[in-house]
Structure 1
Amino acid sequence: MQEKPLNQNLETPNEVDVKFMKQRVQGTYNNFILAIYRLFRFIVRKWYVILALLVVGIALGMYVDSTKTSRLRHELIVVPNFGSIDYLNQKIKDYDRLALNKELIAMNAGNEVYKVKIEPIYDAYNYILTDPMHFNAFKVLSERGIDIEKYSKSKLASKNYKFHLLTVYTDGLGKTDLSIDKILEELNSDTYFNQRKEIEKKNTLAKRAEIEKSIEHINGLFQRLGSENKVNDITMNAYPELADLLTAKEGLLKQLNAVDVQLIEQDKVVYLATKFTNIPVSPLLPYSYTIPFLFIVGFITIAYLRSKIKSLKN
């Protein structure tokens, strides 16, 4: 009589693992379905309690929604001047440690500033074209195969953008302008950057005077050419340098316009370009949704714990 090999009916370890995992998954699925069924039966049995909690929760939530203090967002577009962007970022980062917020509340501004943040307004096109150095830097990066779009949003590049968005969040309806003015006053109070402001404004005024002199010089050349040609036969062919003079004058006028704008913005270390105030900040969900949900979840949780404790005692 031929004997069977001893390991003929033995399962391999891999087969045992697969079978065990299958049983575990099946058991978990069955327990989940059973839990859903028990929850449904509990809700059916206690429907009157669930309905009462739902009505009370909705009513209470609607009352809270109608009486709670409004939260508002104020967006300020600012221009950090004189290399003050790192100073501004640090000042905003440390805002919670400043005494300014307590001062605002003490002054009865009515707006508790609970959050302040700042972020650059990405404008790579303007950033590249307004400065030849920036254009050359981006050209080199492009030739080296670096992703310009990714680099333009990097921390290094964003520090050099002209405009930044300063967002102030306040809790309560009060004197918004007073709160914003006090924050800007705090940001513009640094002694070092105010000294730099005076020096750079003086240099900008000197630059403007030089540009005006150059424009007057070109205008004088045009007047001289006009007086020398009484028959008004000034043409580009007769005077080929006219094209260069016109191009130079146009460039100088653009520079003069840019300098005038720069003088306006250099009035402050952190210059406020424009602002949008009192924008409502809506919660993720109104209290008329969250309160009844919490009531029902709390009731089900308490009932479950009571049943568990009772089963353990038995």
Structure 2
Amino acid sequence: MNTNSNSTTDQDIDLSVLTDKVKSFFGNIAFSLFKCILFLKNNSRVFAFLIIGGGILGYTIDHFSKSYRHELIVTPYYGSVDYLYTKIDYLQTKINQNDQAFFKSIGVQEAENVNEIEVEPIIDLYNFINNGTAGNKDENSQNFEMIKLLAEESDINKVIKEKLTSKNYNRHLITISTKKVVSEKNTITPLLLYLNNDAYLNKIRAIYTANVKDKIQKNEEVIKQIDGLLNSFAATSNSTQQNNKLVYYNENTQLNELIATKNGLIRDIGLQKIELINLDYFIKATSTVVNLKNTSKIYQKKTILLPIIFVIGYILYSFLSLFYKKQAAKLNPVS
């Protein structure tokens, strides 16, 4: 009986102690919160000064640190992708060295405003596998097999972004960053001309262009010959009776083949003429957009960041000062 009574008493004591600890815990939290509120109240003028001053300073920095980007979508021809990336790296090296003489020598008149130049592939897996250029069916098949093989050993999303794959995409994006608005004529165009200034690749371009023009000429001659045969057939069919069904069938079969051949040649000529448009440069810019103002996200703006940094810095300084004073008081007790 006494044992049960003592056990009940111990449980009541333990519960009472636990309740006191919980009350003490929440009491400490409430007191700490009160001290924080009191700290903010006592330093309200300091915080107001830091917020306003930081906002003004941040706005000034944002205002005077404007930057612009210029985007060029280019298509490298004749296997000049590695050449393109090497040249872009070289230009970035010259920017880092602030080599104004070099940029003036290639015709860039506003080189002091150029901050950065970089190139990256435009990931377009569909066009990589299904190249629309005539005569590239074998190459398309090889591209598909390469992607398929790489995807078997790795994640397809990683494969299409890997350096080995990405450099083989048809289109690439050149991004140029400048401090100020620049003229396309004085900055962008000279850089493109510099990229296209290679004797070896220009010789290949000239030969390739001559070959395309020769193909167009030969195809046009064949079309004229087909037109002559069609006209001759029309004249013959008007003067000859078509009583023999087998002869009629054979002649119409030959006629259909000639018409199909002519249509194929016309289609090839159209593609070749479009191809000629892209052969004036081996690094062909298909799209150019200049002077796009870079806009920072809200959390990247100095107008927002600096007041926050100043306030946090002041709070840390205050707590460290208080911590130092308490520790110093322990080392030097008042006698």
Change (3 A) 1:102 1:304: farther
Tell whether the 8 Å contact from 2:78 to 2:201 is kept in structure 1 after alignment.
yes
**How far is the alpha carbon of 1:184 from its aligned partner?**
0.9
In structure 1, the partner of 2:122 is 121
Structure 1: gaps spanning 5 or more residues: 1-28
In structure 2, the partner of 1:43 is 40
What SS does the corresponding residue of 1:309 show, helix, strand or coil?
helix
**How far is the alpha carbon of 1:79 from its aligned partner?**
1.6
**How far is the alpha carbon of 1:64 from its aligned partner?**
3.4
Inter-partner Cα distance in structure 1 for 2:110 and 2:326: 58
TM-score scaled to structure 2, two decimals?
0.71
* Residue 317 of structure 2 corresponds to residue 302 of structure 1: yes
* Paired residues for 1:16-31 under 5 Å: none
CA RMSD of aligned residues (A): 3.6
In structure 1, the partner of 2:92 is 96
Inter-partner Cα distance in structure 1 for 2:31 and 2:230: 93
In structure 2, the partner of 1:168 is 176
State how many pairs are aligned. Answer: 283
Identity of matched residues, %: 25
What SS does the corresponding residue of 1:174 show, helix, strand or coil?
coil
1:74-120 Cα deviation digits (max 9, x unpaired): 11111212211111012222322236862458965276222222222
Larger radius of gyration: 2
Inter-partner Cα distance in structure 1 for 2:255 and 2:58: 76
In structure 1, the partner of 2:213 is 205
Inter-partner Cα distance in structure 2 for 1:36 and 1:78: 62
TM-score scaled to structure 1, two decimals?
0.75
1:10-61 Cα deviation digits (max 9, x unpaired): xxxxxxxxxxxxxxxxxxx99xx79984655432331221112112222333
* Paired residues for 1:133-282 under 5 Å: 133-137=138-142, 140=145, 146=151, 150=157, 153-230=161-238, 239-282=252-295
Q: Give the letter for the 1:133 counterpart.
A: D
Q: Give the letter for the 1:304 counterpart.
A: F
Tell whether the 8 Å contact from 2:100 to 2:112 is kept in structure 1 after alignment.
no
Greater Cα shift, 163-172 or 97-106 = 97-106
**How far is the alpha carbon of 1:141 from its aligned partner?**
5.9
Structure 2: gaps spanning 5 or more residues: 1-24, 243-247, 330-335
Tell whether the 8 Å contact from 1:61 to 1:288 is kept in structure 2 after alignment.
yes
Inter-partner Cα distance in structure 2 for 1:194 and 1:42: 73
Tell whether the 8 Å contact from 2:121 to 2:167 is kept in structure 1 after alignment.
yes
What SS does the corresponding residue of 1:122 show, helix, strand or coil?
coil
1:101-140 Cα deviation digits (max 9, x unpaired): 6245896527622222222233333342432113323564
Change (3 A) 1:142 1:46: closer
Tell whether the 8 Å contact from 2:182 to 2:291 is kept in structure 1 after alignment.
no
- Flag the structure with higher helix content: 2
